[in-house]
Amino acid sequence: MSKKTTDPVLRYENGVPVYRDGRAPEHLLTATALRGRRLSPAGLHPVGWVSTLPYHRVCALYDSTQARPIRPVTSRQRAVLAAGRELANTVPCRRCEQVRVSKWDEDRLCGTCLPVVETERHARMIAAAEDHERMLAADQAAAAWATEVLADPDTVVLDTETTGLHGDVRIVEIAVLDRHGAVLLDFLVHPGIPIPPDSTAIHGITDTVVAGAPRFAELLPALTEVLAGRRVIIYKRFTRQVECRIWGCRERERSSLPRPRGTSAFQTDRRRGSRPRPRPATTRQPGRADGMVRVGVASAKAFHSRLSGWSAA
């Protein structure tokens, strides 16, 4: 047999021998083998390496004659180890953060907090169910109101395009349809102020388009005739309609023309995110101009769906 195959040293790395698997001297042991003999590799430096055949890896070899015996575990160390095992795979309670619970627990709640959280969760479910019932009731009320409105032969639908949504808002187009969808009035209106580009991007009406259009005061006689004695419905942004109606009243007061009448069967809460709610019908609102045309604002979803089917018929 050649020297190449009988030599226990496979190669040298930085002057340290790398032994063939199973050919290292008996006193050179790996860290695992040292612990198996209750010896500690702490403080020792590798004096050699051994090449393992399965994965062609190398493991450090230590001189067992220089290793110190492993000291027996004291009772205090055992207590610390036991406490560490108890903390393993645990996390603080996500509610009180005082008690540790298993991290595999879905709720991650201690025994004290779990009933409290379950009670709160149940209360939220009940509140959500009640909110849903109120939403359904509001939708049904809106649908009933829309049905009643569409059955009224005096109902007309008014729509406007304006110079904006806030501040000194002016009307640039106004149209009125009857309950069969026929156009009763459709006019461009000169607002008297420049139309902002943001508004033009929405409705496409520019200063050039309304350059020869009449002012609102000039259109008021025709609008008064169309709206007189009618139930006027608008289902657009409520705040915009309020501001436009205020401006319309000022124009009407300056023109000293006859004032149309109007009624309101539905009004919306102006708080953000609230749903429309029915209010008693009235012909005037104290503190506003006598001739202000008040409109009913229904749920856009309910009213528009009814209006679409009604127009198609």
pLDDT of residue 257: 39
5: confidence class by pLDDT, cuts 50, 70, 90: low
CA-based nearest residue to 107, from 89, 91, 128, 123: 91
Mean pLDDT confidence for 80-84: 90
Reported as a pLDDT band with limits 50, 70 and 90, residue 169 is confident
204-261 pLDDT tens trace: 999 999 999 999 999 999 999 999 999 988 865 443 443 444 344 444 444 443 433 3
* CA 107 – CA 44 distance, rounded (Å): 48
Q: For position 109, what pLDDT does the model report?
A: 93
pLDDT of 151 strictly over 60: yes
Q: Using CA atoms, how far apart are residues 179 and 49, in angstroms rounded to an integer?
A: 96
CA distance 74 to 36: 19
With 70 as the cut, is the pLDDT of residue 306 above it? no
Confidence of residue 135 (pLDDT cuts 50, 70, 90): very high
What's the CA gap between 108 and 95, in Å, rounded?
9
Determine the average pLDDT of the residues in 144-165: 89
Check residue 145 and give its pLDDT.
87
Q: Is the CB of residue 240 less than 8 Å from the CB of residue 165? A: yes
Q: Assess whether pLDDT exceeds 60 at residue 16.
A: yes
Give the mean pLDDT of the chain. Answer: 77
Straight-line distance from the first to the last Cα atom of the chain, in angstroms, rounded to the nearest whole number: 106
Q: What would the pLDDT profile of 83-95 be if each residue is shown by its tens digit? A: 888 888 899 999 9
* Segment among 2-6, 104-108, 148-152, 272-276 with least mean pLDDT: 272-276
The number of residues in the chain equals: 313
pLDDT of amino acid 51: 87
List of residues 6+ apart from 247 with CB closer than 8 A:
168, 169, 170, 171, 216
Q: Rounded to whole angstroms, how far apart are CA atoms 5 and 3? A: 5
- Least confident residue range of 25-39, 46-60, 209-223, 225-239: 225-239
The residue-averaged pLDDT of 279-308 equals 35
Contact (Cβ atoms closer than 8 angstroms) between residue 63 and residue 28: yes
- Whether the Cβ atoms of residue 49 and residue 21 lie closer than 8 Å to each other: no
64 versus 312: the higher-pLDDT residue is 64
Mean pLDDT (whole number) for 257-283? 35
Which residues neighbour 209 within 8 Å (Cβ) at sequence distance 6 or greater? 188
State the pairing for strand pair 231-233/264-268.
unpaired
Q: What is the pLDDT of residue 4?
A: 54
pTM passes above 0.85? no
Could you tell me which residues come within 8 angstroms of residue 18 by beta carbon, excluding any fewer than 6 positions away? 9, 10, 11, 12, 48, 49, 50, 51, 58
Q: How confident is the model at residue 268 (pLDDT cuts 50, 70, 90)?
A: very low
Predicted pLDDT of residue 21 = 86
Element (H, E) at 279: strand 276-282
Q: What is the pLDDT of residue 52?
A: 81
